[in-house]
Amino acid sequence: MNLHAIRAIYLFEMARTRRTLVQSIVAPVLSTALYFVVFGAAIGGRISEVEGVPYGSFIVPGLIMLSLLTQSISNASFGIYFPRFTGTIYEVLSAPVSAAEIVIGYVGAAATKSIMLGLIILLTAAFIVPLRIDHPLVMLLFLVLTAVTFSLLGFIIGIWADGFEQLQLVPLLVVTPLTFLGGSFYSVDMLPPGWRTVALFNPVVYLVSGFRWSFFGIADVNPAISIGATLGFLAICLGLVAWIFRTGYRLKK
Amino acid sequence: MTAATFWPPDRALMHAAIEVSALEKTYASGFTALKPLDLAIRRGEIFALLGPNGAGKTTLISIICGIVNPSAGRVLVEGHDILLEPRKTRSLIGLVPQELTTDAFETVWDTVSFSRGLFGKRADPAHIERVLRDLSLWEKRDSKILSLSGGMKRRVLIAKALSHEPQILFLDEPTAGVDVELRRDMWSLVRRLRDEGVTIILTTHYIQEAEEMADRVGVINRGELILVEEKAELMRKLGRKRLVLQLQERLAAIPPSVARENLELAGGGAELVYTYDAKAGRTGITALLGDLAAAGIRFTDLRTEQSSLEDIFVDLVRRAA
Ligand SMILES: Nc1ncnc2c1ncn2[C@@H]1O[C@H](COP(=O)(O)OP(=O)(O)O)[C@@H](O)[C@H]1O
Ligand SMILES: [Mg+2]
């Protein structure tokens, strides 16, 4: 294991975060705070509580997930796309590092950022609405699993993308809609029965539901199934990454 | 002690620094950049790879360094297969790419230290300092790379490649578009590295550089290695010589009795230049001088010139085309 290399990549990426602190941390926190104002205050005025939880509190896990997903993807995809774009990727490709080490370095850094971000948003929320966390360890497990899984997805997108537009495409066209339809702002039970079935095909539903269960003990789907689904998605992403490195897809000519 | 003790000889002493055999590359576009190619680079030598644009120099280097996948064939670095033991082979190699591909927002110190870590070496600030000083980058160590000039960026790329103390160094057109000072610095650095035992493979457009620097020269054209030769041997073997005769009286034209292939009038009629193959059994010099005497053409001075590597190169590529 080339630990020096993992460390080098990881620290390089974390230094990038520090340089772009405003963009990496402050902007998502700000936009999350805006969600609180709009959804929490405006809608919360009409829906006082969901399954015994005040609406403002109810949406916290979903909001954290929303940021976690989008930031994991954008951090990780940019982290690997940028060196491809500038050509500096030549050095990583010519270095004595394995695919696993490259992934640990890049995805590890992106996931770290997302987890930090998630915790900051959680802290921010705790100042605004009453919060309780019934299962803190499960909460952390979901936080880490989701950050890693979607950083991996971002990494894959960063390798697949052939331009900055494509880099934005997947988050814009796929992830954001799935997240909004994933029960961040409502319980799936509030949907008409037909839509409820459709919602169960949305992987984000499982994340949000499981994550929310760790806070309030209420869930749309069984938390065990949530964790299983997340692990399944993680496995798919790992498989894709392994395939990419075995074939050199988009990395080597 | 039996004879068996001496056999097999130590592998490390026997094999070349790099052994390329039957290496081929066809890009996804269908373009074949390397035809089956064989090449051995000796340990500790400076090897110059010469070839026109698009000959396949960068492709060859990129395959050896692991950036481009080969289509067929095999590459051994210090006896290790690049595909089977990439970790081993890559840690031995430093690469200075042709393009100025550097980070932008990082400092010189950070980017060079990053390279060392990436290649699996423990942090060693003293070594990084030495490399930066050698390349006149020490004053710039805290500057962001994007604030540097092109020449300085080139130095940064060299520093990155040297950061992990490679045994083999690839320089892909290191002096293309580089100022005189940097070129001079670079060549003295290359000589010093060679003295330390580093094997150096460079590609260049400046044939004088190969002529000045290299121990051996390879000429590549359209993905084919046309020739590999000791530089001195190459110059001797393929070098054509020119005999220049300074005439006493200017000639308007070469008289028919003297005219022959490879004889030209130059210097506004003041010189006769005869090009001949120095290696040929019969150079034709005696006959030429006889004919000149018979025609009553006198000369005041004469000299011979060895053709440069450039002449040889142009000649080879033209012949191969
Ligand atoms: N990724 C690629 N896809 C298709 N053709 C390529 C690619 N890279 C290089 N080539 C072609 O391969 C040939 C050799 O290129 P290269 O190795 O860069 O030559 P050199 O370094 O000698 O100038 C050129 O004709 C070039 O156009
Ligand atoms: Mg080239």
Tokens encoding B292: 């000149």
Q: In the structure, what pLDDT confidence band is assigned to residue A249 with cuts at 50, 70 and 90? A: confident
Is B14 a residue whose pLDDT tops 80?
no
pLDDT of B239 reads 63
Q: Collapsing DSSP states into helix, strand and coil, what is residue B202?
A: strand
CB-nearest partner of A95 from B90, B104, B105: B90
Average pLDDT over residues A231-249: 89
How confident is the model over B73-94, as a mean pLDDT? 96
Q: ∠B306-B309-B315 over CA atoms, to 5°? A: 95
Name, in order, each residue with C-beta under 8 angstroms of B297's C-beta and a sequence gap of 6 or more.
B247, B251, B255, B258, B272
User: Does the pLDDT of residue A90 top 60, yes or no?
Assistant: yes
Q: Which CATH number fits domain B240-320: 2.50.20, 2.30.30, 1.10.3470, 3.30.70?
A: 3.30.70
Task: Please give the pLDDT value at position B7.
Answer: 46
Min Cα distance A13 → chain B (Å) is: 11
Residues of chain B with CATH 3.40.50.300: 12-222
What percentage of chain A has pLDDT greater than the value 90?
A: 49
- ipTM given for this complex: 0.87
More confident residue, B245 or A198: B245
Residue B11 pLDDT exceeds 70: no
Fold classification of B12-222 is Rossmann fold (3.40.50)
Token output for A143 = 């936080």
Mean pLDDT of A40-61: 80
How does pLDDT run across B38-56, given as a tens digit for each residue? 999 999 999 999 888 899 9
Task: Using a CB–CB cutoff of 8 Å, tell me whether A86 touches chain B.
Answer: yes
> What pLDDT was estimated at residue B310?
67
Name which residue leads in pLDDT, A29 or B95.
B95
Residue B12 has pLDDT above 90, yes or no: no
Cβ–Cβ gap B106/A12 under 8 Å? yes
Cis peptide before A136 (omega within 30 of 0): no
* CA nearest to A114, candidates A83, A158, A69: A69
Listed residue (B59, B74, B62, B73) closest to B29, CA to CA = B59
Instruction: Please list the alpha-helical segments (H only) found in A129-202.
Output: 136-160, 164-170, 176-180, 193-199
pLDDT tens profile B123-180: 999 999 999 999 999 999 999 999 999 889 999 999 999 999 999 999 999 887 788 8
HEC readout, B235-250 = HHHHCEEEEEEEECCC
The band of B9, judged by pLDDT with boundaries at 50, 70 and 90, is: very low
Please tell me which residue of chain B has the smallest CA distance to A5: B118
The string of pLDDT tens digits covering residues A125-172 is 888 888 899 999 999 999 999 999 999 999 999 999 999 998 888 888
Per-residue confidence (pLDDT) for residue B1, from 0 to 100? 40
Residue B67 CB–ligand 1 contact under 6 Å:
no
- Cβ–ligand 1 distance for B53 under 6 Å, the answer yes
Phi, psi (degrees; rounded to nearest 5) at B68: -120, 135
| pLDDT score for B32 | 96
Lowest mean pLDDT, pick from A67-81, A217-231, B8-22: B8-22
Task: Name the most confidently modeled range: B20-24, B187-191, B249-253, B301-305.
Answer: B20-24
Quick one: which H or E segment has residue A99? Answer: helix A99-128
Which residue among B53, B58, B204 has the greatest number of ligand 1 atoms within 8 angstroms of its CB, and so is best to mutate?
Answer: B58
Asked if A101 and A5 count as a contact pair (C-beta separation under 8 A), the reply is yes
Global confidence as pTM = 0.83
Residues in chain B within 8 Å Cβ distance of A105: none
Residues in Cβ contact with A174 at an 8 Å cutoff, skipping those fewer than 6 apart: none
| Mean pLDDT for the stretch of residues A23-50 | 77
- Within chain B, which residue ranges are assigned CATH 3.30.70? 240-320
The residue type of B253 is A
Backbone torsions φ then ψ of B160, nearest 5 degrees: -60, -45
Question: Which of B134, B137, B241, B244 lies closest to B193, judged by CA?
Answer: B134
Please give the average per-residue pLDDT across A84-108, as a whole number.
94
Ligand 1: which of B57, B59, B65, B205 to mutate, judged by most atoms within 8 Å of the beta carbon?
B59
Ligand 1 proximity of B51 Cβ (cutoff 6 Å): yes
Angstrom distance (rounded) from CA A50 to CA A58 = 7
pLDDT, chain B, mean: 88
pLDDT at B194: 93
**Residue A124 amino acid letter:** T
Domain segments of chain A as ranges: 3-247
B174 preceded by a cis bond (ω within 30 of 0): no
pLDDT of residue B240: 72
